[in-house]
Amino acid sequence: MIEIGEVAVPTATVARLPYYLRALRDLAGEGVEVTSSSDLAERSGVGSAQLRKDLSYLGSFGTRGVGYDVESLSSYISAALGLGSEHRLAIVGVGNLGHALANYSGYSARGFSLVALLDADPGVVGRTAAGLPVEHVDDLERVLAERQVSMVILATPGGVAQQVAERVVACGVREILCFSPVSLQLPDDVVVRSVDVAGELQILAFHAAARAAQPATAAARAAQPAATTGP
């Protein structure tokens, strides 16, 4: 459970809130003012019963037979996610992936501000990405303090990720989005969200292999002689 105000909300529910918010913003962009639970659920990729249960943790929303007010529900979920205040981000590791993350255009629209880029590679330090200079990771503590960084995106090689993460935590940062291929061991009060691109691709490969095996399995079963019964 995660505390939002005075309400305990399941971690799985919190993980779905950004999808509801994205769907609501899409609806607002289409000029839709009121939406049904079934439409919002479909756009969010969940069942309507799950949607209603998730929203019930946050309060009472919607009118039976009418639906949800798109603007007010969007505002409420934004506030619940803590998007009413600015979150200042730093990216540590500005290789190909870090560079792509730096150039993501959606930060500001979602209440995030990218304020620092750091790397250890002399060939990268001093260059510019997304309008910011890449600073040396040796200066991490100073940069995080001066820029008042509250969240860090970690895109370093796996071999140095733990060490860098520990330095980040020592600076007081308690939220880390990790793209490094490693399981970080950090204090319980640190929230780490890990994105393992290779792992997710391997899961997709498993499903692809299973799907490819299905026709062969069906054909093998069809080729088996019919079972016979005794006299």
Tell me the torsion sign for CA atoms 216, 217, 219, 224. Answer: positive
* DSSP run (H or E) holding 87: strand 87-92
Compute φ and ψ for 197, nearest 5 degrees.
Answer: -60, -45
Cβ partners under 8 Å of residue 11, min gap 6: 1, 2
Q: What does each C-alpha distance from 205 to 191, 196, 201, 217 come to in angstroms? A: 29, 14, 6, 18
Q: Is 111 part of any known ligand binding site?
A: no
Q: Is 59 part of any known ligand binding site?
A: no
Q: Which residue has the tokens 């639970």?
A: 37
* CA 144/CA 151 separation, integer angstroms: 9
Q: Is 97 part of any known ligand binding site?
A: yes
The size of the chain, in residues, is 231
Q: 3-state DSSP call for residue 194?
A: strand
Q: Is 177 part of any known ligand binding site?
A: no
- Give me 79's structure tokens: 């506030």
* Binding-site entries: 93-98
Give the residue ranges of the annotated binding site for NAD(+): 93-98
